[in-house]
Amino acid sequence: MTQWDVALDARATLGEGPRWHHGEARLYWVDIARNELHRFDPVSGRDECRAFEAPIGCFAFRTGGGLLLAMKDGFATIANWDAQPMPFGEQIFAGRPDIRFNDGRTDPAGRFWAGSVNMAKSAQDAALYRLDADGGISEIEGGMLTCNGAAFTADGATFFHTDTPSHALRRYAADPASGALSDRSILHQFPIGEGRPDGGSVDIEGYYWTALFDGGRVVRLSPTGEIVAEVPLPVKRPTMIAFGGADMRTAYVTTARAGLSESELAEQPLSGAIFRFTVDVPGVAETPFAG
């Protein structure tokens, strides 16, 4: 069995979106519920944090430096760690209090794909969007509650994501040149009550890893959908798995404390921590956003 350890006892309310920055050798991540962006140095153990006026669902590094942030009302950029956010593209969720951005990934061409969530669960009006380098935003697929788990294979020819409450992982053929998706299918349907797929990442063999929220584990799925590896964790709510380290063989898993009872938190004191373990097959490195 793969041995995990605690990278950071962050006690995050809703830890999410870990991304490895090769140049800085840092793990960036967010606590959505606290409107926080974090930058963690696994060598020193130092975790820097800055808070914003609105939640950050996900983010991407940018080609010229700084970050792209997917926030409550729309996208924004920061030129560096200390900079103030500047709106980027149309603020498409302004005036829609139940909707915010949730999870996203850059494709190998530098476009950013971000899913939204209906926080009130009042309607299936969450969707998957594509942000192009010029700030143009296209709605790709709608009719969801919690669009999650966006990830591409290294060649950009396959895309994965999930509407988390459906317990179904979706797979698409992707056109790296145009950014078009086609041939949607179900990669894997998880049983109800055993954890639902949250954030995911792909390794260089094209296998998809997903964190199972309320399932207490992360799993690795083959390109045909079989579960080929499973890593149990001592917490109920893992939220996202991503890869880092110089060789991209360190898996980092964010987790959440949100929604857990006092008794559950007492039984799972590491809820909200970031876990790590070593994998045999490296993960796909993050592509910076081209805008």
Tokens of 20: 């490895």
Asked if 287 contacts 50 with a C-beta cutoff of 8 angstroms, the reply is no
In terms of Cα–Cα distance, which of 267, 288, 254, 264 is closest to 33?
A: 254
Tokens of 244: 């880092």
- As a whole number of angstroms, the distance between CA 270 and CA 72 comes to 28
163 included as an active-site residue: no
**Which residues, including other chains, have CB under 8 Å from residue 157's CB and lie 6 or more apart?**
173, 174, 176
How many other CB atoms sit within 10 Å of the CB of residue 140?
A: 17
Tell me how many degrees the CA angle 265-53-74 measures, rounded to the nearest 5.
100
Tell me how many degrees the CA angle 147-150-155 measures, rounded to the nearest 5.
155
Active-site annotation holder among 98, 198, 203, 214: 198
Tokens of 222: 């083959």
Kindly report the backbone phi and psi dihedral angles of residue 121, in degrees, each rounded to the nearest multiple of 5, phi listed first: 55, 35
- As a whole number of angstroms, the distance between CA 71 and CA 290 comes to 18
* Segment (H or E) for 208: strand 208-213
So which residues are the catalytic ones? 198
